[in-house]
Amino acid sequence: MSRISARYLGKRIVVSYLTILVIMTVIFALTRAQPGSFVTSMVSPGMNAEAIERLREQWGLNEPLWRQYIDFMINYQTGNFGRSPNWGVPVWDLFVRRMPRTLILFGAVFIVGYTVGPLVGMYLGWWRGSKKDQSIFVGGLLAYSMPAFWIAWLFLWLFDYQLGWFPSTYMLSPFAQYEPTAVNIMIDVLHHIALPLFSVVFIGWVGSMLIMRPTMNNVVDEDYVFLAQAKGLSERTVMIKHAARNALIPVTTGAIIALAFLIDGSIIIENVFSWPGMGQVIVTAVLNNDYPVTQGAFFLLGVLVVVMRLLTDVIYTYLDPRIKFGENE
């Protein structure tokens, strides 16, 4: 921490907070700009104008827009997300139920993808120009170009429809035939997670590989790598301890972009595999004008990204001692 001045950190925190406020404003404007409102979808043919009016009143849509905006800003910052008109439960409860499922799947994706990607990138950057590098790189780009849902369908066709090895939908078997012990549930979840995990990782590892490969290649020509080699260290030690460590910085930045990629991936993949997570909730909420849920989801994701950006700046100073923030403040 000592490498970052308190003043700089303070300024960054204030700016991050303001960024979140602007993000919230944009979300508010966008949700209200959608044609219709969620009340439109609640209206049944038998309702008269008075009943519709009462519904609007109930959900606070008759308040002037500025009033709604102020309520939104205050309520969301205090963690009061309101009730979802679509699911009929408090938004927070909905998130609490759905979030862990998304985190299980995409936590696993993130760990596997972010281990494989930089490792492959490291080797490719180290051997740049060789036959092996060329073919793996081209193969990676091809995988990167595939639509996620299409490759998921192909895997489903092969492993579920043809071979029947893995189930195609849900997180747990609907009618469990086993004793509900922790171990059995774990095995069941692992069995269900295999295909979605493999589908996302199949595409996802390439992103970090693409960042790692060129930076690794730049590092290879640095003096300290030459020095390490001259000292007689093994190639492996030089590559991992001396070169890769310094090539990790852009990969860390890339982790935020990867996070965004994961959110996109979760939306598609959760829909393909009927995985009952956040991705499905977001799409349904947006398409049904469910303001509270849309706003809540965007708000949480916005806070997540802003906080991650702040954290990576701090992490940089540990990965590369040469970086100092707030020196010329």
Partner 1 sequence: MATEDGTTTGESLRERWNPRIERFRRGWDRYTEHRMGTIGLVLLVIFSLWALFPSVFAPHTPEWTAYLGTEPGRLTGEQLNSLPHPPAFGDPFFAPLGTNAGGQGIATLVIYSAETALYIGFAAGLLSSLVGVPLGLISGYYGDTWIDETIQRIVDVMYGLPFLPLLIVLVAVNGITTTNIILGIAVTSWLNNCIVIRGETLSLKERSYVESAKVAGASDARVIFRHIMPNVLPIGFVFLAQDAALAIITQASLAYLGLADFTALSWGIMLQNIQTAGYVYTAPWWLIPPGLMITFVAAAFYFIGFSMEDVTNPQR
* Interface with partner 1 (CB under 8 A): 15, 18-20, 22-23, 26-27, 30-31, 33-35, 128-129, 134, 137-138, 141-142, 144-151, 153-154, 156-157, 161, 214, 217-218, 221, 256-257, 260, 263-264, 267-268, 271, 282-283, 286-287, 294, 297-298, 301-302, 305-306, 309
Query: Distance between CA atoms of 28 and 309, rounded to whole angstroms?
Result: 23
Tokens of 220: 């290879």
Least distance in Å: CB of 248 to partner 1? 18
Nearest to 202 by CA among 139, 133, 279, 270: 139
Query: Distance between CA atoms of 283 and 212, rounded to whole angstroms?
Result: 32
Least distance in Å: CB of 31 to partner 1? 7
Q: Find tokens 């993949």 and name the residue.
A: 269
CA angle at 268 for the pair 40 and 299, rounded to the nearest 5°: 60
CA distance readout (Å), 239 to 9, 15, 251, 317: 34, 38, 16, 21
Least distance in Å: CB of 189 to partner 1? 24
Least distance in Å: CB of 301 to partner 1? 5
Compare residues 146 and 172 and give the one whose CB is closer to partner 1: 146
Compare residues 37 and 189 and give the one whose CB is closer to partner 1: 37
| The amino acid at 267 | I
Least distance in Å: CB of 185 to partner 1? 28
Task: Calculate helix-pair angle for 148-155, 182-220, nearest 10 degrees.
Answer: 130
Compare residues 134 and 184 and give the one whose CB is closer to partner 1: 134
Q: Output DSSP code: residue 175.
A: S
User: Quick check: helix, strand or coil at residue 82?
Assistant: coil
| The amino acid at 74 | I
Compare residues 150 and 318 and give the one whose CB is closer to partner 1: 150
Compare residues 188 and 243 and give the one whose CB is closer to partner 1: 243
Compare residues 91 and 151 and give the one whose CB is closer to partner 1: 151
Least distance in Å: CB of 302 to partner 1? 4
